[in-house]
Amino acid sequence: MKLAVIGAGSTYTPELVSGLSRERERVPLDELVLHDIDAERRGVVGGLAGRMLERQGYDGRLTLTGELERALDGADFVLIQIRVGGQEARLRDETIPLACGCVGQETTGAGGLAKALRTVPVVLDIAARARERAADGAWIVDFTNPVGIVTRALLDEGHRAVGLCNVAIGFERAIAASLGVEPARVLVDQVGLNHLTWIRAVYLDGRDIFADVLAEHMDAVAAQAALPPELIRELGAIPSYYLRYFYAEDEQVAELRAGTPRAQVVAKIERELLAMYRDPALSEKPALLERRGGAFYSEAATQLVAALATASGEAQVVDVRNAGALPGLDDDDVVELPARIGDAGPEPLPQPPLAAELLGLVQHVAAYERLAARAAVTGDRDTAARALLVHPLVGQWPRARELLDRMLAAEVGA
């Protein structure tokens, strides 16, 4: 089995390497390819990956390359984790919307659209080359944000792809810790769109204990959601922490304006991590990596790869076509929900209808994602403007046009 990681110069990559070692029985890799166009980062991160794999007793081949064709040749799995434009582009995504009075965030709202316009064409180019060179039946696993829009674009082009986010596994680990049980015993029924989801059931050994979790562990749940307990009780569902941008928009805009942009924080952490990775004595992921974000990324990614490789039949929260699973959305909308991983890949599990106050927001953002994916593929400016117009965090025509003008001008200037 060959697995290619595209964007492997990411400081996340040691997390992935660590996860692959835990799944070596289900994912017997003959070759792990780490691809990145940045030769320096590829060498630094790849060096640490090699030392980690040697320590873990990996007996396959590790290949570092800047040649995409070399990475994709014969690959059974292509994991895409790129950041087009780096942290500098992220900084623009976070700050330009704030100047217009909107949430500045790299995946949600106007910043997410800017990232999608930049990212989708690059991902589709990678996928097109994978179609030519990867193994028959190869899977593309997308961890590149905005995951919902990128996955939609991949599926629209007919690629065998699935999107993945770490929000669900983060909640599962937090709830398991509160319960004092092994994480493998907990499954959350997280439903909605990428970065716009709610948990309506929590299963412990297959038994729904949602009411008990809210009654006995609300403080931990509220901390993970970054929202007040009163709101969670009122909704009767646990929102993703990205919902704070919708439920407390004014407060979030004020905080973002007053604080240090996340892009600058992450850039500093990455510089420190890369300095650590250069240490030839380091052969395990450093604790600082936990502050980078993307907690449990490696577990989510490697569990999904293992399930796809073995058609295990287990349920995992992934981003897939709706295909009638969630009432109120179109079949071709890309939803994030539990899916059974079988011979044909992820099959979304049918869901009870969302409450009206949840469904309305999901439909609103699903319309935005449809337009955003189309704009990213066609490059049509009017479609991009309509995407911003329909987004709940923008939603006014003069603001949408101003935001789009500023974002496109910044891309040209960069």
The set of catalytic residues is 242
Interior CA angle at 91 toward 400 and 82, to 5°? 100
CA distance 316 to 17: 20
Q: How many CB atoms lie within 10 A of CB 413?
A: 7
Residue whose C-alpha is closest to residue 392's, from 358, 365, 360: 365
C-alpha count within 13 angstroms, C-beta hemisphere, residue 5? 30
CA 115 from centroid of its chain's CA atoms: 13
**Category of 125 on φ-ψ map: left (φ > 0), alpha (ψ -120 to 50) or beta:** alpha
Alpha helices in 100-203 (DSSP H): 110-133, 147-156, 167-179
Interior CA angle at 336 toward 305 and 1, to 5°? 10
Spatial contact of 227 and 373, defined as CB atoms under 8 Å apart: no
* DSSP element (H, E) containing 92: helix 86-99
CA distance 329 to 290: 36
Angstrom CA distances, 167 to 51, 224, 235, 336, stand at 29, 10, 19, 10
Spatial contact of 32 and 3, defined as CB atoms under 8 Å apart: yes
Q: Are strands 139-142 and 77-80 parallel, antiparallel or unpaired?
A: parallel
Which neighbouring-strand residues pair with 348? 339
Q: What is the largest CA-CA distance in the chain?
A: 59
Which neighbouring-strand residues pair with 397? none
Interior CA angle at 320 toward 300 and 206, to 5°? 55
* Matching residue, tokens 């040697």: 54
* DSSP element (H, E) containing 32: strand 31-35
Spatial contact of 384 and 372, defined as CB atoms under 8 Å apart: yes
